Amino acid sequence: MDCPRCNLPLTAQKYEGIDVDTCTACYGYWLDTGELEAITSKKAYKWGKNEKENILHAIAKANAEGKAKVDEDAACPKCQGKMEKVSFQGKSGITIDRCAAHGVWLDSKEMKHVQVWAEAEADRAPKGK
């Protein structure tokens, strides 16, 4: 498979114990269906308080300034179909590229952003009894 941004071959690697495909040029990630959910729920990496706050601040600032993702349309590395831009978890303001049939593409920094956002949302959720 090739990177939808650079058109260079993706490299298989483990990320939080999950097999993912990465671009060593642009640092993007291809995640097959279900892998993003597995990574965001696993929480193997523990974010430092300052790092977490800085990332959440950067996300909020980008949303407040209306800096929506303006990357060119990307083709799915598996089927070459045009991926759609979707908001991660609806209200996050983090826009990712998705092929409904095969998975998602996360550009550089988006992996950290979605992980920190998901962790913060889980921390805000009411605890079960």
Contacts of 19 (CB under 8 A, 6+ apart): 12, 13, 35
CA–CA distance, 83 with 105 (Å, rounded to integer): 9
DSSP state of 92: S
112 close to 120: Cβ distance less than 8 angstroms: no
For position 34, what pLDDT does the model report?
95
What is the pTM for the complete model shown? 0.85
The per-type count for the chain, helices as H runs and strands as E runs, is: 3, 6
DSSP state of 108: T
For position 93, what pLDDT does the model report?
83
For position 89, what pLDDT does the model report?
82
**Structure token digits, residue 39:** 């990574």
pLDDT in tens, the chain (129 residues): 999 999 999 999 999 899 999 999 999 999 999 999 999 887 777 788 898 899 888 888 887 776 555 567 899 999 999 999 998 987 788 899 999 999 999 998 899 999 998 888 887 777 664
Q: For the segment 60-72, what is each residue's pLDDT rounded down to a tens digit?
A: 888 777 655 556 7
